[in-house]
Amino acid sequence: MMTSRNSSPRSRGHACFLALGFVCVFPGALCAAEAAARVFSGGGDVRARNEHTDGLSTLSTTAPGHEQNYFRVRTRLWGAWTPSPASSLNVRVTAEPRYWVRRSSARSFSNRRGLEGRTAVLDVLNFQHRFSAPDLPLAFTVGRQELKLGEAAAPWLVGDATPGDGSTTAYFDAVRATLNFEKLRTTLDLVVIDQQATADRRLPVLGRGDAYPMSEQDEQGVIVYASHRIRKQMQAEAFFIFKKNRRVLATGNDAEISTGGLRLAGDPSPRWQYSFEGALQTGNKQDGSVKIPAAVPTRRDVRAWGVNSRLTWLARDARDQRVSIVGEFLSGDDPKTTGRDELFDVLWGRYPRFSDVIAAGFTTENAALYQMGNLVRIGPEWSLAPTKTSTLVVGWQRLFALEAVPTRATRRAAFSQDGRTRGDYFRATWRQKFSKNVSGLVTGEALNQGDFYAERDVLSFLRVEVAVTF
240-276 burial code (b ≥16 CB/10 A, e <16): ebbbbbebbbebbbbbbbebebebebbeeeeeebbbe
- 8 Å CB contact between 170 and 159: yes
pLDDT at residue 34 in the model: 53
Residue 406 CA to residue 420 CA, distance in Å, equals 10
Cβ proximity of 70 and 51 under 8 Å: yes
List the alpha helices (DSSP H) in 237-384: 356-366
User: For 182-216, where are the E strands, in sequence order?
Assistant: 186-195
Q: Can you give the pLDDT at residue 298?
A: 80
Indicate the residue type of 456. Answer: R
**pLDDT for the residue 373:** 96
Q: 40-469 is classed in which CATH architecture?
A: Beta Barrel (2.40)
Question: What pLDDT, on the 0 to 100 scale, is given for residue 286?
Answer: 95
In whole angstroms, give the CA distance from residue 176 to residue 142.
6
Return per-residue pLDDT of the chain as tens, 470 residues: 334 344 444 444 444 333 434 333 444 444 444 555 579 999 999 999 999 999 998 999 999 989 999 999 999 999 999 999 999 999 999 999 999 999 998 878 888 999 999 999 999 999 999 997 777 899 999 999 999 999 988 999 999 999 999 999 999 999 999 999 988 999 999 999 999 999 999 999 998 888 899 999 999 999 999 999 998 889 999 999 999 999 999 999 999 999 999 999 999 999 999 999 999 999 999 998 998 887 666 899 999 999 999 999 999 999 999 999 999 999 999 999 988 999 999 999 999 999 999 999 999 999 899 999 999 999 999 999 999 999 999 999 999 999 999 999 989 999 999 999 999 999 999 999 999 999 999 999 999 999 999 999 999 999 999 999 99
pLDDT at residue 37 in the model: 56
Pairing of strands 300-314, 340-341: parallel
Phi, psi of 291 (to 5 degrees): -105, -25
Q: Specify the amino acid at residue 42.
A: G
List the domain boundaries for the chain.
40-469
Per-residue pLDDT, 293? 80
At 315 the pLDDT is: 97
Per-position DSSP letters for 28-79, written without gaps between them:
HHHHHHHHHHHHEEEEEEEEEEEEEEESTTTS-SSSTT-EEEEEEEEEEEEE
- What was the pLDDT predicted at 7? 45
Measured CA to CA, the distance from residue 454 to residue 387 in angstroms comes to: 43
